[in-house]
Amino acid sequence: MQKYILRLMLLLPLFLLHLQGAANSPEPDTKLTTQIAETLGTKLRSPFRDYLASLYRLNNYRPLWVGPENASNYAALMNVLQNPLYNYQHKNYNRRQINQLSFTLENGEIPASEIPKAQARLDVMMSDALMQVLHFLRIGVVDWPLVQRKLQRLKETQDIHAAWDIKPKKLPDPKQLLAQLKSGRLDAYLRRQIPLEGRYRRLVAMLQKYREMPDFPRLSEGRKLRPGDSDSRIPQIKRMLKFFGDYPKRLAEDSQFDRALAEAVRSFRKRFKLPPGDFIGNKMIHYLNTPRSEYVKKILVNLEKLKLYPHSWEQEYVEVNVPEFKMRFYQNGRAIFSSDVVVGRIDRPTPIFDGKMTYMVLNPTWTIPDNLVRRDLIPMLKKHPEYLKEHNIHVFTSYKPNAPEVEPDLQKLFSYEHDTRPIPYRFVQFPSESNALGRVKFMFPNKYSVYLHDTDNKKLFGYRYRVFSSGCMRVERPFDFMKLLLHFARGSYSEGKLREIFDSNKPTTIRLAKAIPVHIVYFTVRRKGKKDYFFYDIYLHDQIIWESMAGHKKASFKVPAKRLDPLHKPKKKRRSPFSI
């Protein structure tokens, strides 16, 4: 097929001269526009029929691809239709019909009286192919309303509030698209439709790599392997690690557990968030045995998620990738700061959305929301009545600014545990070293009331799966992040002034001179350099999306009976590295 397309491209100048000859006479041009209108009205079978009718109507039914004035767009589209960047799913995009009709027109196999009809058919067919490309790039193959219904169903059936501000794109306005076609820069326009281009290109390259992954024999479990050991499984392990990019391709694939293999094992374990070390146990064998289909599936799902986002993000922004448990601050496309984070529990997932950070608070108080009073505080007070005093939590009669502080009637409070009445008290944890928000919080006001903040419980950052919060994101390096944000603050804050603020133990708000975009995202695949990273689908979002994609669609989603519990060791039956 590629050789055939290449031949067509070489013959393109002759083909356009042929079309130019047909266009020199006013009569054939009139016939062509008439045929285009007729093709759109009676012969086109396409979900984009109405859109194309509007597009051609705006152009007075003149051709968009036929003729020398459309040569650059014709060549650009022919290249796009075979480019994996725009067609990694190997869709037809009318290519076979376009190639055949172009070839017969170029070779003069169509009678002169039928040429306008064939040209009209070719022109409309190429416009339809363009619409398929735009739909694939901008909208994709996921039924996003179905995804939202499944997330809503989790709330109704399991009390899991899995919020995601999903905003699928639409096709461009026909006037806008026509203007782009008239400019003769279709290639540049289509490139601007690529979502988060750098990531998208890397994932498409990854997809090609893992589609070509060898069919490695399944490794058997056995004794733990350490540096210096010799084992019959090691040659295959080295071949596998070569493919993944952990083990140098130039080195031999012998049966010795040498220094290079130890380094490769450390690299592999880091990429999959396995406990650090240079040994090969059965858990790592399990990960090495992950089939090619699982890698491909995961990459395809993440490519679809990318299509929810624009071509690029801002010059400066904060990104929190929830399943990676990582936040980064980007400036001019480069991450200049990163920190591990703790995210929401699997039954209280961190919402996926965009916001704008406008201020931070030093020595913050924490007002406990009603839902957490019901879920956490009341059960705790039933076991430990002194919990409020021990944790510096003060109680007020209402949310009014001057509401008086009181001793709560615990029996009265307990009656609110299982109903929806507003809690009759306001619980506020005052600033201290034991405050749940730590010493600083970073605010980007949103409807979910979540934010980034310090924490009094640093040991949680030592866990492999850091899913412990009620939705907010706890930052391991909050003071380094604070110092970075001070460059954007209104006014200046010296080390002495900051020390004075912290020593005062009084809440202090520092406003930013400009709002900084914040993107809370859910990407379970990442390429950094030559290494590929795959993360657990902690909230099952990937699986829900996969089961809402064309070809895999299921009307409802069933939550597995057993899910990840980071506080307990897994049972002997091991999970897939890509599922919960």
pLDDT tens string 149-187: 999 999 999 889 999 999 999 999 999 999 999 998 999
pLDDT at 5 over 70: no
**429 in a domain, yes or no?**
yes
How many angstroms separate the CA atoms of 203 and 192, rounded?
A: 17
What is the average pLDDT score of the chain? 91
How many angstroms separate the CA atoms of 124 and 127, rounded?
A: 5
pLDDT at 340 over 90: yes
pLDDT at 565 over 90: no
pLDDT band at 21 (very low <50, low <70, confident <90, very high): very low
**361 in a domain, yes or no?**
yes
Q: Are residues 327 and 178 in the same domain?
A: no
pLDDT band at 561 (very low <50, low <70, confident <90, very high): confident
Is 517 in contact with 358 (CB distance < 8 Å)?
Answer: no
Is 559 in contact with 154 (CB distance < 8 Å)?
Answer: yes
Alpha-helix runs per DSSP H in 59-173 = 71-80, 95-106, 115-138, 144-158
Is 150 in contact with 122 (CB distance < 8 Å)?
Answer: no
Residue with tokens 């079309």: 19
When pLDDT is averaged across residues 505-533 and rounded to a whole number, the result is 96
pLDDT at 41: 86
Report phi then psi at 316, rounded to 5.
Answer: -130, 130
When pLDDT is averaged across residues 543-555 and rounded to a whole number, the result is 96
pTM of the model: 0.90
How many angstroms separate the CA atoms of 210 and 196, rounded?
A: 21
pLDDT at 573 over 70: no
When pLDDT is averaged across residues 518-533 and rounded to a whole number, the result is 95
Q: Could you give the number of structural domains in the chain? A: 2
Q: How many C-beta atoms lie closer than 10 Å to residue 142's C-beta?
A: 22
**270 in a domain, yes or no?**
no
Is 54 in contact with 174 (CB distance < 8 Å)?
Answer: yes
pLDDT tens string 37-66: 999 988 889 999 999 999 999 999 999 999
Which region among 210-214, 314-318, 417-421, 435-439 has the lowest average model confidence (pLDDT)?
417-421
Instruction: Provide the strand spans (E) within 419-493.
Output: 426-429, 440-443, 452-453, 467-469, 473-475
Which of 575, 559, 577 minimizes the C-alpha distance to 157? Answer: 559
Q: Are residues 338 and 473 in the same domain?
A: yes
Radius of gyration of the chain (CA): 30
Q: Are residues 183 and 329 in the same domain?
A: no
**246 in a domain, yes or no?**
no
**292 in a domain, yes or no?**
no
pLDDT at 401 over 90: no
Q: Are residues 482 and 347 in the same domain?
A: yes
How many angstroms separate the CA atoms of 282 and 332, rounded?
A: 43
pLDDT at 14 over 90: no
pLDDT at 25: 40
CATH number at residue 440: 2.40.440.10
> In this structure, what token pair is assigned to residue 327?
């936040």
3-state SS, residue 516: strand
pLDDT at 7 over 90: no
Alpha-helix runs per DSSP H in 391-528 = 410-414, 478-485, 495-504
The percent of residues above 70 in pLDDT, for the chain, comes to 92
pLDDT at 257 over 90: yes
pLDDT band at 29 (very low <50, low <70, confident <90, very high): confident
| Residue 15 or 139, more confident | 139
Q: Are residues 352 and 490 in the same domain?
A: yes
Please list, residue by residue across 4-22, b when 16 or more beta carbons sit within 10 angstroms of its beta carbon and e when fewer do: ebeebeeebeebbebbeeb
Q: Are residues 323 and 183 in the same domain?
A: no
pLDDT at 522: 98
pLDDT band at 563 (very low <50, low <70, confident <90, very high): confident
**18 in a domain, yes or no?**
yes
pLDDT at 6: 47
**531 in a domain, yes or no?**
no
Which of 135, 143, 91 minimizes the C-alpha distance to 546? Answer: 143
Alpha-helix runs per DSSP H in 159-308 = 174-183, 186-192, 197-211, 234-244, 259-271, 282-288, 292-306
When pLDDT is averaged across residues 541-549 and rounded to a whole number, the result is 97
pLDDT at 576 over 60: no
> In this structure, what token pair is assigned to residue 322?
């929830």
Which of 571, 518, 97, 98 minimizes the C-alpha distance to 328? Answer: 518
pLDDT band at 318 (very low <50, low <70, confident <90, very high): very high
When pLDDT is averaged across residues 427-455 and rounded to a whole number, the result is 95
> In this structure, what token pair is assigned to residue 550?
């064309």
How many angstroms separate the CA atoms of 290 and 237, rounded?
A: 13
Is 229 in contact with 257 (CB distance < 8 Å)?
Answer: yes
Q: Print the domain residue range for 69.
A: 2-138+170-192
How many angstroms separate the CA atoms of 428 and 443, rounded?
A: 18
DSSP string for residues in 355-410: EEEEEEEES--EE--HHHIIIIIHHHHHH-TTHHHHTTEEEESSSSTTPPB----H
**272 in a domain, yes or no?**
no
Residue with tokens 């002194």: 386
pLDDT at 288: 97
> In this structure, what token pair is assigned to residue 345?
């529990």
